[in-house]
Amino acid sequence: MSDFPRDLSGLSSPELVRLLLDATNPPPSTDVERVEFFDFKARVFVTLADRDENPAASRFAARARADRDRLLAQIEDQRGGGL
């Protein structure tokens, strides 16, 4: 289980960005860590998009979800079709 916070609603935009930057140091090294990172990244950008009505943040969130889903599918394929 990741150490990323679940509730991001009480954090300021700069705090969210700092958490996202901290999540890359050290960079995720396994596929599972990358899935957790992309899930967290999506949640950060959804929070920013909702708060600021920012279409760019919405696009970044969608891309992070797509990256997460691609990795999940890859993990499932490597495990023979079942998580």
Q: Output the average pLDDT for the chain.
A: 91
Domain that holds residue 67: 13-81
The pair phi, psi for residue 54, each rounded to 5°, is -105, 110
Q: Is the pLDDT of residue 54 over 50?
A: yes
Q: What is the total count of domains within the chain?
A: 1
pTM > 0.75: yes
pLDDT of residue 79: 86
Query: How far is Cα 47 from Cα 41, in angstroms, rounded to an integer?
Result: 10
Is residue 5 a part of any domain in this protein? no
Helices (H), the chain: 13-22, 31-52, 55-78
Is residue 43 a part of any domain in this protein? yes
Query: How far is Cα 34 from Cα 49, in angstroms, rounded to an integer?
Result: 22
Is residue 35 a part of any domain in this protein? yes
Structure tokens at 23: 């999540």
Residues 6+ apart with CB under 8 A from 11: 5, 19, 47
Q: Is the pLDDT of residue 45 over 60?
A: yes
pLDDT of residue 1: 47
